[in-house]
Amino acid sequence: MHYLDEGEGPAVLMVHGNPTWSFFYRNVVLKLRSAHRCIVPDHIGCGLSDKPQDFAYRLDNHIANLKQLIEALQLESFHLVVHDWGGAIGMAVAEHFHDKVGKIQILNTAAFRSKRIPLRINVCRLPFVGEIWIRGCNGFAGAATSMAVARRLPKAVKQGFVFPYDNWANRIATHRFVVDIPLTAQHPSYATLARIEQHLNTLQHKPMQIIWGGQDFCFNDHFLTEWKERFPHATVHYFDDAGHYVLEDRQEDCIRLMRAFFHA
């Protein structure tokens, strides 16, 4: 597992989703590392981590990997930032290391069950067709560089997002994350997600800030409403002109809010 470990001070663990990697948090690290130790892993199969072809790539596996990293680094305490799949993975870890977790920063994600799924993502789950589209044509990571933002990304940034996903083998996790979305009780990861959801209330007293892009086609306002219902004490910042990659669309505002949140 590849990870960034930069800066000194209170640790901030940043957990990415699919189809991003630690690159998603690059600007946050640059601004926080003067006062915080920034730890940003790439999930197995993502970014600069190994991409084994015989790995399970289930929610349980990603949670176990992140727990192992925290233990290996001997973190006594840490703040948490989660986005996309990082929500379920990160909140599971927060529940497990309950006494180590300080503040929690939420960015367009979920950690609870839902049957809401955009058609364009559901199509990517189809047998054979979905794998050809994602692994053969890079139709997920590549498409996200335009579909997940409200503002056009610079060419270099687009290239950065897709850099690790340059061939069939290296896109395995991008595809498996999509297949692993648990919509029904029969899905192998459904029980894991249900367990995470059921224990979210153990984090009720943790300081929480939510930064939300209102133009997210996947994690839309229905998910934001559920976060607010579950954590009514959370401070919410809503950007109606930002998409799923909210850190790209409103970079300066997000970083300003995150710095103030973790420095307080």
- The whole-angstrom separation of Cα 74 and Cα 68 is 10
All domains of the chain, ordered by start, with CATH? Answer: 3-263 (3.40.50.1820)
Strands (E) in the chain, as ranges, are 3-6, 11-15, 37-41, 78-84, 101-109, 208-213, 235-239
Q: What pLDDT is attached to residue 168? A: 98
- The mean predicted confidence, pLDDT, of the chain is 97
Q: What is the DSSP string of 196-257?
A: HHHTGGGGTTS-EEEEEETT-SSS-HHHHHHHHHH-TTSEEEEETT--S-HHHHTHHHHHHH
What pLDDT digit, counting tens, does each position of 246-256 carry?
Answer: 999 999 999 99
Q: What pLDDT is attached to residue 76? A: 97
What pLDDT digit, counting tens, does each position of 103-123 carry?
Answer: 999 999 999 999 999 998 999
Q: How many Cα atoms sit within 13 Å of 204 on the Cβ side? A: 7
Cβ–Cβ < 8 Å for 118, 217:
yes
Nearest to 211 by CA among 248, 175, 182: 248
Residue tagged 């999509």 (tokens) = 178
For residue 67, pLDDT beyond 80: yes
Average pLDDT over residues 165-188: 97
Q: How many Cα atoms sit within 13 Å of 253 on the Cβ side? A: 14
Residue 228 neighbours by CB under 8 Å, 6+ apart: 210, 234, 236
Q: What pLDDT is attached to residue 264? A: 76
Q: What pLDDT is attached to residue 71? A: 98
- The whole-angstrom separation of Cα 135 and Cα 132 is 5
